[in-house]
């Protein structure tokens, strides 16, 4: 990339001081045309069926009148967006799964960021647990759990030192387990950033157990979400997964950030489970307890959640 291919600042007629990231290539320049052709060639040659395109078009306009793909400033933003959107549509048509950190769902993308700030992973571990659940709670209003990815640095990231770091994993086993439960319990996948997923047999066994739990309940966990109480670190928070087309109509996940065990009665809205008169609720998949739905399709569910722990309930 050079001055001939960068987006041009309409105020100066030159690159710089205008693009969202300082300097950025114009996708309608000759460089842009070659870039997308290289991506097409790579995918066709290798047979890759997944592309994480971290660096999608950020919305820059371009005042150049020399780039072959647009006439000037007025049409540059639209034409650049169309070029990347059409590329994503091509990928989707060829069965390529797309991770794109922007809202291209109607143009072929499969997944975007759930919504988080990377600098939050420099905070103490206990805060990370709560903030992570806040990110998921907020990020699933406009997309289902499997449409957004999360991020878990296992090594130091953006500072914070030992207080913010999960490694060595065996020294922070309880926190590490909670991160799995935060995410897999919400049906959300993450990028686990570090050199390993376990460092001892005990950690390996924990990872296997949490992943096995997710796989058992995956259809309902990746279904739509009904939001309960937003995490704030002051009391229990919870999400309800619902799908009237599955044998398990719902799966409720409740987290307790407090240092003491808690007992609460939650008013759980089961309207979108499709249930009407009675619900059969199984605490951690155990013995069923029948609860009657009220006229607003809610049940009053007593729950006990251990200190700094979780509980979960299957609804049939």
The model's confidence at residue 1, banded by pLDDT at 50, 70 and 90, is low
Q: Where are the domains of the chain?
A: 30-107, 115-221, 224-315
- Across 209-224, average pLDDT: 98
- How do residues 122-147 score in pLDDT, each as one tens digit? 999 999 999 999 999 999 999 999 99
Q: What is the reported pLDDT for 2?
A: 80
For the record, the structure tokens of 188 come out as: 């959300």
- How do residues 243-270 score in pLDDT, each as one tens digit? 999 999 999 999 999 999 999 999 999 9
Whether 119 has a pLDDT exceeding 80, the answer reads: yes
The model's confidence at residue 239, banded by pLDDT at 50, 70 and 90, is very high
Whether 3 has a pLDDT exceeding 90, the answer reads: no
**Closest listed residue to residue 53, CA positions, set 1, 7, 88:** 88
CA distance readout (Å), 10 to 19, 62, 190:
11, 7, 40
Cite the beta strand spans of the chain per DSSP E. Answer: 50-52, 97-99, 112-113, 148-153, 189-193, 224-229, 237-242, 250-255, 262-269, 278-283, 288-292, 298-305, 310-315
| 13-27, 66-80, 149-163, range with the lowest pLDDT | 13-27
- How do residues 158-179 score in pLDDT, each as one tens digit? 999 999 999 999 999 999 999 9
Q: What pTM did the predictor assign?
A: 0.91
DSSP state of 161: G
Sole residue written with tokens 């700094």: 308
Whether 241 has a pLDDT exceeding 70, the answer reads: yes
Sole residue written with tokens 């409720």: 252
The model's confidence at residue 300, banded by pLDDT at 50, 70 and 90, is very high
Q: How many Cβ atoms from other residues are within 10 Å of residue 236's Cβ?
A: 20
Q: Which residues of 238-250 are buried (b: 16+ CB within 10 A; e: fewer)?
A: bbbbbbeebebbb
For the record, the structure tokens of 147 come out as: 């449409």
CA-based max dimension of the chain: 72
Q: What is the reported pLDDT for 21?
A: 87
CATH architecture of 224-315: Sandwich (2.60)
């Amino acid at each position: 990339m050079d001055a001939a291919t960068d987006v041009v600042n309409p105020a100066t007629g030159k690159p710089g001081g205008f693009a969202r990231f300082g300097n950025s290539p114009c996708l309608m320049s000759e460089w842009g045309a070659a870039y997308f052709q290289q991506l097409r060639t790579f995918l066709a040659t290798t047979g890759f069926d997944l592309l994480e395109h971290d660096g999608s078009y950020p919305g820059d306009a371009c005042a150049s009148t020399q780039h072959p793909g647009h006439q000037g400033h007025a049409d540059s933003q639209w034409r650049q967006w169309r070029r990347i959107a059409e590329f994503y549509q091509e990928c989707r048509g060829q069965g390529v799964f797309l991770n794109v950190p922007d809202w291209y769902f109607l143009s072929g993308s499969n997944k975007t960021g759930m919504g988080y700030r990377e600098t939050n992973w420099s905070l103490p571990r206990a805060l990370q647990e709560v903030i992570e659940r806040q990110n998921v709670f907020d990020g699933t209003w406009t997309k289902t759990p499997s449409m957004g990815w999360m991020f878990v640095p296992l090594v130091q990231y953006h500072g914070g030192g030992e207080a913010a770091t999960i490694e060595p994993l065996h020294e922070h086993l309880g926190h590490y387990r909670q991160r799995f439960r935060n995410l897999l319990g919400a049906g959300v996948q993450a990028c686990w950033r570090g050199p390993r997923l376990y460092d001892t047999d005990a950690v390996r066994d924990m990872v296997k157990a949490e992943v096995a739990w997710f796989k058992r309940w995956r259809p309902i966990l990746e279904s739509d979400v009904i939001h309960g109480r937003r995490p704030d670190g002051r009391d229990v928070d919870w999400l309800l997964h619902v799908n009237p087309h599955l044998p398990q109509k719902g799966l409720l996940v409740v987290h307790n950030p407090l240092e003491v065990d808690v007992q609460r009665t939650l008013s759980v809205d089961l309207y979108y489970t499709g249930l009407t008169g009675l619900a059969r609720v199984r605490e951690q998949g155990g013995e069923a307890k029948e609860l009657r739905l009220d006229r607003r399709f809610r049940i009053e569910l007593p729950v006990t959640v251990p200190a700094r722990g979780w509980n979960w309930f299957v609804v049939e």
